[in-house]
Chain A
Amino acid sequence: MPGSTVFTSIAPYIKVILDGLPETLLLTFGGFGIGLVVGPILAFMEIYGPKPLARLAAAIEEVIRGIPLLVLMFIIYFGLPELGIRLTPLPAAILAIGIRSLAYQSQIIRSAVISIPAGQWEAALSLGMSPVGAFINIIIPQAFRIAIPGLVNQFTVDLKDTSIAYAIGVAEIFTQAVHVAQVILDYLPPLLFVGLIYFVLTYTASSLASTLYRRLAIPGLGAGGVVTV
């Protein structure tokens, strides 16, 4: 079987590749986590903030979304030292992934909140809720459910793009796989193996997400036209 020969040749090196897993997960959860904290802030600024603030938030979002992750990473890792800010590869990569992620998460949250009918607001206020109370009790629970598929999609995008951190030498699984390839002078086995790891990780994330989505599902509350997962 070709499959078995492919993997016997890297059997001794599997541990080397798996050694990169903590870095990959740190990059993913760190980057996505930054987005999860800052993204909603940006989104709320855009929706509820005064006009100048809303414009600023929209501009930040648009600028970040127009720049490749690799360039963000290079600006942070190679460019910022010129301003006296020096980061080691791992934090630099996490920051880059986080900045990119927050711009997309902001958009996902924003469209989820906007998609909630105005009647929900009016009904909540008519009950005597304060705007903050209405937001927390009525808008957030609905918007969160709508945003789940989009957020999970972003999570898998962040996960796959951790491989780009290879560019600044973070020892995540892709970097490790390439190093193994250079040692055994054969790219195919390590690349296939690391591909399998990514696939299992993204697949697990998507499955968990659809379970969560179904668990939380409320009849009549859709995913707002977000196609993914």
Chain B
Amino acid sequence: MVFEGLLIIFTKERYLDLFLEGLANTLILTASSFAIGFMLGLLIAVERLYGPRILRAALAAYVETIRGTPMLLQLFLLYYALPSAGIAMSALTAAILGMGFNSAAYQSEYLRASLRAVPSGQWEAALSLGMTKWQAIRSIILPIGLRSAIPALSNELVYLLKYSSIAYFLAVVELVYAGKIIGSETFAYLEMYTLIALVYLVFSLLITRSMKKIESKIMIPGLAVTAERT
């Protein structure tokens, strides 16, 4: 079936182009939304742990709102509802931002758990040396906390790869959308979707493998993994 799907792609140059465009957009969606999610997520995690009280409450509300509603809904708000407020953007941009904002909420939770799990003695030792609060966060808490968050972040990356398929609903030409077009022209839905499923699977495994490699490279004896995504 996978093989037949591959054959179909190669029957017309247009199909191959569509398929490759889809793959490229899927990877762009995944990588960019992960990057946005990481930067915002780290900011949220640090501010929720060490920031001023009002900001903590506001960020907590943000995280809970995102986690309590579907990602699809969030993308629709950005793409279809914002233009009435005068903010319009391309479907791809809306999808990247929507996924990024969504991921920020989840990543902030993993990072917060990891940072909080850094033993309090590390804090005390850093402060006792004369470090300021932000020096201690930067040179001690973050390097330890970020390392133990790697498995959770790696799961999040795989999660985003799969959920990039939601951009289909905004007519972004990612893998599923490309498959749908080719499938509807050739009536070989089963073959196309099976092929696409396999592509996701292969990339999920690739991500998991390489993150494990990164982890083992920068892991330090005695550091525990704290957060795990289910």
A interface list, Cβ under 8 A from B: 63, 65-72, 74-75, 78-83, 104, 107-108, 150, 153-154, 156, 160-164, 166-167, 174, 178, 181, 186-188, 191-192, 194-195, 198-199, 202-203, 225-228
Contacts and interface: CB of A to CB of B under 8 A. Distances in A.
Secondary structure of the A contact surface, majority rule: helix
Secondary structure of the B contact surface, majority rule: helix
A153 B109 CA distance: 14
Contacts of A174: 70, 72-73
A59 to B, nearest CB: 11
B76 interface: yes
B34 interface: no
B29 to A, nearest CB: 12
B193 to A, nearest CB: 5
A227 B200 contact: no
Contacts of A194: 73
B162 A67 contact: yes
B113 to A, nearest CB: 5
A23 to B, nearest CB: 14
B162 A68 contact: yes
B197 A71 contact: yes
B19 interface: no
B190 A66 contact: no
Given A68-B162, A160-B70, A163-B70, A83 B190 contact: yes
18 contacts: A66-B162, A66-B204, A66-B205, A68-B164, A68-B165, A69-B165, A70-B165, A71-B193, A71-B200, A74-B179, A82-B189, A166-B169, A174-B70, A191-B73, A195-B77, A198-B73, A199-B68, A227-B228
A71 B70 contact: no
B193 A66 contact: no
B193 A191 contact: no
A60 to B, nearest CB: 12
Interface residues of B, number: 45
A219 to B, nearest CB: 21
B81 A188 contact: yes
Interface in B59-85: 65, 67-73, 76-77, 80-81, 84-85
Contacts of B190: 75, 78-80, 82-83
Contacts of A161: 70
A75 B197 CA distance: 9
> Which residue among A65, A67, A107 has the maximum number of chain B CB atoms within 10 Å of its CB?
A67
Contacts of A153: 230
A76 to B, nearest CB: 9
B100 to A, nearest CB: 18
Given A66-B158, A160-B70, A195-B73, 6 more contacts: A82-B190, A160-B71, A174-B70, A187-B84, A225-B226, A227-B110
A70 B168 contact: yes
A32 to B, nearest CB: 14
Interface string B44-65: 0000000000000000000001
Nearest to B85: A188
B169 A187 contact: no
A188 B113 CA distance: 34
B118 to A, nearest CB: 15
A6 B166 CA distance: 26
B171 interface: no
A215 B165 CA distance: 39
> Which residue among B76, B158, B164 has the maximum number of chain A CB atoms within 10 Å of its CB?
B76
A68 B183 CA distance: 17
B163 interface: yes
Nearest to B77: A191
Nearest to A150: B230
B196 interface: yes
A79 B65 contact: no
A80 B200 CA distance: 19
A227 B197 CA distance: 29
A66 B80 CA distance: 29
Contacts of B226: 225
B144 interface: no
A107 B230 contact: yes
A164 B72 contact: yes
A24 to B, nearest CB: 11
Contacts of B173: none
